[in-house]
Amino acid sequence: MLSPRARFLLLLFALFVGLVVAEARFLHLTEAFSNRVTDFFLRQQARSLAADPDIVIVAIDEASVTGMADYAGRWPWPRSVHGEVVEGIAAQKPKAIVFDVMFGEPDVFRPESDAAFNETVAPLGNVYFPSARHDPAGDAYGVPIVDLAPGFGAVRSLRSDPKARIDVLLPLALKPENWRLGLINFLQDRDGVGRRYLIFENAYGWRLPSLPARLAIDLGWPLPSQDDFLIGWRGGVAAHKQIPFAAVWADINSEKKTRARDEFRDKVVVIGATATGLHDIRVTPISTAHPGVEILAAAIDNLKNRHWLVAAPVWVSPALSVALLAILTALLWLQAGVIRIGLGLAAALALLLGGSWVAVGEGLWLPVMTPLLFVTAFFVLCALHDYRDEKRLRENAIREFSRFVNPHVVRELIAKGGLSRAGESREVTILFSDIRGFTTLAETRTPGEVVDLLNRYFSRQVEVIFRHGGTLDKFIGDAIMACWGAPIDDADQAQHAVAAALEMASTLEAFRAELGAADADFDVGIGIHSGPAVVGLIGSDARREYTAIGDTVNLASRIEGLTKGVARILVSEDTARKCRGAFDFTGRGHYKVKGRTAEVQLFEPREKRR
């Protein structure tokens, strides 16, 4: 038979396994946070990595947009300006010139500018232009893919639909024979961050390459086998060398050259906008304002140098989550200790985070926050459940303890951290109360009736003891032993004990009235003495009880025995003196007490006359 805690662990484990599966299949609630942590690792490690120096950006930056306004006017500039720069760069024999500028519409106001640009590009075989895939919903109104295939270098297969159309943005300012196209669609994950770059766009059996993939194919660089890849970032936002467009253009058009004649030799030159006003800004793991041209350059760098990241299989995260949950469930089942398990869990979390950090450095995208979030949530829920159970047991223990100790005393003890396990010497006042005529009373009742009567009587008397701040030490048969001054200090302990005894006598009278004339012999004797005693948790390792021992306890018990035929309540001289005139005391003589050489003077207390 499983315990409630075991059933809770199994049910919670099953629930979390279901959540892990749902998270992996369709929820994706933790994906963004998990990716952001891995993004942080990637961003930190990228700072120490250098980008390929043979990939250079000719940047259309703020200075270029402003500086060329007098010659080229406002952006967009005449295409002949781009032609001049291409011509100057091409003269230095670069490996490729890659535009990240859309030339989507012919310049109807300056057709001669477009013609000059086409004339410049025509003899060159290494100038590449971007295209962008539009919403597939508009493909029916697009261009036949078969007509675009040469310009894209599209890959045809047996499943290719010869009649298929595709809606793409084309560089219509250029003649089709000058097209060397590739897609530059920005791929963003569900959280809006771009971590991947397209390799091939699959459309109706055709495979259209991205711009970096088109360049890689032409230059003979091997490609990843999948249709996109995780970018392995190197450096920060401006990782690759950037040369202002205006500076290149000015040097090309200057009679006195100031720039190096081989600045672009054997380089891949990427031309694109970095000026924020041109709005080619994206969100990546590196920056929330990452220029698109730099993203393009990073993708080319990855394909050229095989720096892309490899994503861990999709099953790794859920499998790791279930494995950690199973281990944690087993440890909690075996009750290894919440603190030790918590410390072990913290160490495991640190190890997994460290492993993810190392993995990113080795080119492996390994998000671990999803498993860590699940196992942490599982542990917290289990800890809260155990805390609730422990709190319930503690409250039950307090209720049980409150049956013997004044509830106010219990609360103070809890506030102070409980009782000391070591004994201590205290000044205390001990009260013993014993029933008179109990034997006769028991002979006239059944055992059940006797127990019921005693419980009723003791309940009333213990309530009186508690009301006056006393601690119930124990029941000894039909006798009560109570204590003042322990476990909580009480400067007026003697007064409180005597006041309790007087009220106990009044309570007795009311109880006797309920019993009737048949039990007129039912009476009690109460003895009180104040003095030093040893108090503490006393007993075996298996069972201990909080009690007081010593001569003070013995004397209080013997005083109670001397009440027969003398008075219902007797107190010692020490107790009477400590009451400091709070009551009237009548002397009842001196008595020889076992264990003492000197006689003990006893007094009967009464309420102070007003």
Residue where a domain stops, chosen among 262, 286, 311: 311
Angle between helices 79-90 and 245-252 (to 10 degrees): 70
- pLDDT bracket for residue 486 (50, 70, 90): confident
d(CA 465, CA 480): 10
Assess whether pLDDT exceeds 70 at residue 519: no
Residue where a domain stops, chosen among 311, 333, 358: 311
How deeply is 313 buried, as exposed, middle or buried, from its count of CB atoms within 10 A (0-12, 13-18, 19+)?
exposed
In a domain, 54, yes or no: yes
> What average pLDDT does the structure give for the chain?
91
Q: Are the CB atoms for 422 and 536 separated by under 8 Å? A: yes
CA angle 411, 415, 420 (to 5 degrees): 100
Instruction: Name the amino acid, one letter, at 530.
Output: S
Q: Mean pLDDT throughout 405-415?
A: 59
What values do phi and psi take at 468, rounded to 5? -100, 20
Instruction: Name the amino acid, one letter, at 483.
Output: C
In a domain, 335, yes or no: yes
d(CA 105, CA 174): 9
Report which of 610, 609, 595 is spatially closest to residue 529, judged by C-alpha positions.
595
Query: Taking the chain, what is the end-to-end CA distance rounded to the nearest angstrom?
Result: 68
In a domain, 102, yes or no: yes
d(CA 219, CA 215): 6
216 lies in the same domain as 231 = yes
The total of structural domains in the chain comes to 3
Assess whether pLDDT exceeds 80 at residue 410: no
Least confident span in 82-96, 446-460, 552-566: 446-460
In a domain, 35, yes or no: no
Residue percentage of the chain with pLDDT more than 70 = 94
Q: Which residue has the higher pLDDT, 227 or 338?
A: 227
Instruction: Name the amino acid, one letter, at 556.
Output: A
pLDDT digits (tens, 9 = 90+) for 103-156: 999 999 999 999 999 999 999 999 999 999 999 999 999 999 999 999 999 999
Residue 120 has what pLDDT? 97
Q: Are the CB atoms for 468 and 496 separated by under 8 Å? A: yes
Pull the structure tokens for residue 348: 């495991």
- pLDDT bracket for residue 417 (50, 70, 90): low
258 lies in the same domain as 355 = no
Instruction: CATH number of the domain at 411, please.
Output: 3.30.70.1230
pLDDT digits (tens, 9 = 90+) for 324-368: 999 999 988 888 778 888 888 899 889 999 999 999 999 999 999
Q: What is the dihedral of CA 313, 314, 317, 323, to 10 degrees?
A: -80
- How many CB atoms neighbour CB 4 within 10 A? 9
Q: Are strands 479-484 and 471-476 parallel, antiparallel or unpaired?
A: antiparallel
d(CA 530, CA 537): 20
Q: Is the pTM of this model over 0.75?
A: no
Residue where a domain stops, chosen among 381, 398, 415: 398
Helix (H, G, I), strand (E, B) or coil at 271: strand
497 lies in the same domain as 599 = yes
Report which of 490, 459, 479, 482 is spatially closest to residue 528, judged by C-alpha positions.
482
pLDDT digits (tens, 9 = 90+) for 490-504: 999 999 999 999 999
Rounded to whole angstroms, the maximal C-alpha distance in the chain is 136
Pull the structure tokens for residue 179: 């097209």
What values do phi and psi take at 64, rounded to 5? -70, -45
Q: Mean pLDDT throughout 447-474?
A: 90
In a domain, 451, yes or no: yes
pLDDT digits (tens, 9 = 90+) for 234-274: 998 999 999 999 999 999 999 888 999 999 999 999 999 99
523 lies in the same domain as 586 = yes
Residue 579 belongs to domain spanning:
407-607
Residue 379 has what pLDDT? 92
392 lies in the same domain as 337 = yes
In a domain, 126, yes or no: yes
d(CA 409, CA 4): 33
pLDDT digits (tens, 9 = 90+) for 553-599: 999 999 999 999 899 999 999 999 999 889 999 999 999 988 788 89
